[in-house]
Structures are given as structure tokens and as C-alpha cells.
Structure 1
Amino acid sequence: MIAFDHLTLDARKTTKEGFLAVRARAARTGLYDYAGSEVDPDNAHGLRDKAVVKVYRSGDQVFDRASIASFIGKPITNDHPATAVTADNWREHARGTVMGAVRDGEYVSFDLMLTDAAAIAAVKSGKRELSNGYQTTLDFTPGTTPEGHAYDVKQTAIVGNHIALVDRGRAGPECRIADAIAVCDANPAAVAALQEGNAVKKITLDGLQVDLSDADAVSAAIAKLQDKASTAEAALADANAKLSTAAGERAALEKQLADANTKLEPASLDKLVADRAALIVKAKAVKADIVTDGKTDADIRKEVVTAKLGDAAAGMDDAAISGAFAVLSADVKKATPEIHNLPSVTATDAQSAEAKAFADSVANLNAWRKAKA
């Protein structure tokens, strides 16, 4: 883990070259407050979502000779770089050098030399807090300090990487650059900021709580929701199409039912009978041997026209057939009886073919009345 702690610049001195030499007493032992996302970013130990994690730094680790010596010669940066400082990015980040590091009571003091004009100007303008950047191994076994304070994590094997000049250090303004040595105890305001600002936010996606910091989980959840939305949209479109089809079918059936009801009314039935009778009379007048039983009006007209016109009728549609039939039967006397007032008609040998056909038609069509009675 790369860790960042906070300390101060003290006893400032400007060299003849304009460099700023300072003494910083920091790196104390004891408990430090970290956000859970700092110490357990992958949530491997279940601490990522904790606003504040207590990290213990024991004296044997802080004052380890190798650990103290590891800071000497390391760069000073203006704010923390995104990654550890290496030979590849030193020129980009270095603004000075750690000249020395020694134990000083319960602290470690650093001798720092700032050699960059912009960084020096920032210090003189009030940017006076520092933050250690170092590599450390974390022991996630909870425990209790010798003073009886509980901790969540313990730091071991501390190796310095850089010291950063920052606007606000972990320990707060008590650890600013001053004329005297500052004590770098935790600042309640800094702890409150951690509690309020560093907790990992969660949102609910597809019924599950997802950490916003977990990009893969968020992306997967969103993709799943998008897939569900696409499926739902397709199902909705299909349902709408079926609904539209059903609505059309219903409208057609209602129209057919209305038409059927209209045709079943007595007046409509009488008209149908009269029209049918007139058609049969005309058909038999033009083609005496035609059989009309079981045939539609259109079939009767077509048979008559075909009989008279032959091949000329082959390509005619219904409208043309109707027109031709009207011309062929124009001279036939129109049957104009009120069907329900017609007397019983009996065909005799003296009747004309037209009258006989009409009588037969009327007899057939009046059959429904007898059946009904």
C-alpha cells in the first residue's frame, strides 16, 4: 500500500540560492485515521465502506532504522502525484529533496530542502502542511494498542517514497509550517471530513446495492438493466402490435355483426327476397336453363354473361360482369312486388318463362315464412 501521512514544516531558513530549508518533526507513533477506501480499496477485508478506519503505527515500525533511512534522498513534491515517484517521473514531480531523517523523541524529524521557486512561493503564501508518501505492508488483524485503544489495521515495513507539500494534511492545521515544532495529533475537523466525505457511496441497481467505486459492478448492473429494458421494449412493441391487430379484428367483427343484424330485420329480409327474386327472373329470362339454387348473386350474373358473351367475359371483374348483366337483362320486365303481400302463385303452361321463373323464385323465397310460422 502507498500511504500518505501529514506533518509540518518548521524553522524555515532561506539559503543564498533562494532555496528553502526546513525542519519537519512528524511520523509519530499511535493511531491514524484513514478512510476505508484508502486501506481496503478492493474490499478484500470488508473495510472499504467504513468512513474511518483506525490504523496503528507502532514504535518498532516507525523507528526502525531501515524505515527512517528510506526517506533520505527522496523527493519533495507539490501535492501528491497520482503514482509513486520513480526515475521515470522524478523530473515531473520533484520540487526538493529530503536531506536527513532522525528519531526525535516520539517523532521522526526530517530535514527538507525545497529547491523549486513555485513550491517555495506556495509555502510563503500559506501552503504549509506536509504529507508523507510511503509504501507499507498492512496487517488486517484487529488489535489493541498498549494504551488500550482498539485498531483495525496495523502498518508494517514502512519504506519512504516522497514527502508532499499539501493544502490540508491529515492531521489538520495543528501541523502547519510554524516557527516552533508542531505536535501532529489528529484534528477532529479532519476526522469529521473523513466521516462525511470519504464513505463509499452506494446505489441500488436491479434490486442490489452497488458501490459506485466498483466500476465493473456498476457497468455490469447497468448493462443488465439496459438488456432488460430492451427486452421489455420489444415485448411492449409486440403486445401493442397484437393489441392493434385485435382491435382491427374486433372492429371488423362488430361491423359484420351489425350488418348481419341489419339483414335479419324483417324489412331487410323482404328487400333481400325481392332483390333475389328480381335477379332470378332476369337471369332465367336471358338464360332459361340456368339453375340458381345454391349460387350467389355474383355467380348467377357471371353464368348469364358468360353464356351470352363467351370468351369476351373471361377477363371481366365483378363490376364489369354486373354492367354486362344489366345490359343483357335490360328488356326484362322488372319484378316489383312487396314480397310479404304476394299471393300464392301457381305456374301454368300458359305462363311465360319469365312468369314461371318468378313464381318459382317467390315460392322458394317465401319458404322462410312458413318455416318461421
Structure 2
Amino acid sequence: MKFTDKTNSHRTFTKDGYLVVPATLSKIGVYDYHAKELGLNEDGFKKVARTEQSLFSDSTIQSFDGVPITLGHPADDVTAKNWKTLAVGTVRNVKRDGDMLAGEAWIYDENAIKAIQDSGIQELSCGYRCDVQKSTQPTADYEMLPMVGNHVAIVANGRCGKSVKLADGEKPMSTTRKFLDALLSVFGTKLTDEQAKEVEEKEKAEDGKEKPESDNKTPESKAKEKPTTEEPEKETKEKASVKDEALTAEIAQLKAENQKLKDEKAKADVESVRATTLADAKVSFANVTFADNATVQDIQRQAVVATGIFTQDEAAKLSDAELNGAYKAAKATAKKLNDKAIGDVLLTDHKPENTGLDFNTYNQQGAK
């Protein structure tokens, strides 16, 4: 699955900076699912039909309207307990559009918006639950009953590739491919078509070595097969090695870039805490002058010393945790002192005037 627009022409931003993108969520058709995905205790793949009754039932459409959007599929369903951690947006205005289930993807998270805009991540994959039953269609083994949507994930590869937008994950991919897609999606990118093909072919070749000949080839294909020489095999291995090295180097570069982004975020978080502490200290300790570039520890230490809780030397020996506790105590002390000062001012401001009579003066005036 993927966003419906192949350029940025249909993408809009709200006044608050949220990204709104027309999205295709799913499509009717017959798709390959591994037997174990269907809860079957067997190997191999099954053809599963997603029918009009399954995809366009009122209950299916209603269940997808308002589901959260996640970056990649979470290990568990999205619930009220983990929504805040996992969600980067929501799906709105879900409806039928021909043979597709369409809607709008509202992306709220800044990093997710950047991944979509700059890194080309644009495929979607639905997370849902549904029952299946034996299919009445000759082209399918099973067919889905109405679906219950849980979330829609932004992924590197949807089950139907780049042209459509469907359920959870692409047509069965190799373990290596799944691992690399999951890894690279964290860095906001994905395997190119050429790289994906190389990985798939390499794993198929390795699987072929592990399985007996009879498991992989028909008698006809064996008869037609020409014997291979050691030289071409050696050449193929060398080419694969070079490609593996290039892919490893690319992954290492992406890891480095991701670490750089993490470091920048950590630095921004530290600055945010420092600025908040400075603003708080200036309000709580109005008579103390704090440097605008002071660190959190410097600010807290200065406040603690100014309140008289510790001396300069004593405060310098406190751990960060002890200093933080002392700062809170200093704030409480400063507030009490400030409240007392306010009380004194109120009392003196409302001191009653002397309204007593001077009887001597009064009598003298009366005698006149």
C-alpha cells in the first residue's frame, strides 16, 4: 500500500504544520499468505481472496476510520496504553473508491513528515484482524470475512508493492529482506528494487544449497539443466561479495546518520531543560541574577547558595540528584520568604489611622 499521489502535488499542510495526504488503504484481489499467517499448522503459501463483502462492508469501513498511523508495524495492536508511544497520525474519511479502500492520512509527527517528504517513504500497510473461510472462488484457497482495522503502518514495502495499497506486509519476502527492510525503515529509507532483488536471489541460492535437489526442481527442469563449471560459480560469488560489501557500507552510513540525528535531538532536549530551569529560577529567585548561558547545575547551585541551604563549597560537592533535591527545597524556602514579605506589606499598607480626639485642643476651640 502507498499514498495515492506519486508527487507532492496533492499533499497539503494545515496551518499547524500537519501533513494531509490522500491514501489508498487496501484493494480487493487474491494475495499470497503464508499458511502460518492464517493459523494453519503447515508450510507453504495459500491464496487468500479479499472480496467486496470483506473490504467494503460498513463494519470494515467504520473500523478503519480514525485508526492511528504508525511508523512500521508494532509488535502488538495499538491500544490506549501504547497509542501515545506508537502513533504518528491518524486515518480519516475512509470510503470506497472503485475496487480500493481509500482515505486521508493525517501525519502529525515531525519526524514522520520528514521521512515522507525527504526520504521517499510512502507505502502503507494495514494492521487488522479478520477471520477467513474456505473460498468459493476457484482462484483462491480462502477468503476473508469483514476486517476490523487496528492501525495503518508506514512501511518500506506493502504487500501489493508500489502500485496498490493493501494489507499487512508485501507478498512473502525472505527473512534477510524482512530484516533489512525493518532496519532501513528506522533510518527513513528502504532497499532499492535492485538491492531487494539481489538479497532475494542470494537467499534463494542459499536455500537451494540447503534443500535436496528433488525439493526444488522438477524432473523436466533437471533434464534441461546444464552442468555448471567452477569458474562461473566463483565469479558469481565474487560479484555477490562486492554487492554485499556495498550494501554493508550503505547500512553503516545510514546508522551513522541516524546516530547524528539522535545526538542532535539529545542536545536539543538538554537545551530545552536548561531554558525551562532558567525561566523557573528567575521567577522563583527574583533577587538573584542568573547568567543566560548558565547550565542547569550552575543555575541550581546558585539558587541553593543564595537561599543559604548550602555554602558554595558544599553545593559544589553535591551530585546531580542531590543538587536537584536541594534546588526544590530552595524554591520552597524562597516561596515561604516571599509569602511572608507579601504579608508584611499588606499589614503595613492597611494600618488604621489614628482617629482619637485631642480633647485639649477640642476644649480650647470650644471655649472660643
TM-score (norm 1): 0.43
Q: Which structure's residues are more often strand, by fraction?
A: 1
TM-score, structure 2 as length reference: 0.43
Compare the two structures and name the one with the higher helix fraction: 2
Structure whose alpha-carbon radius of gyration is higher: 1
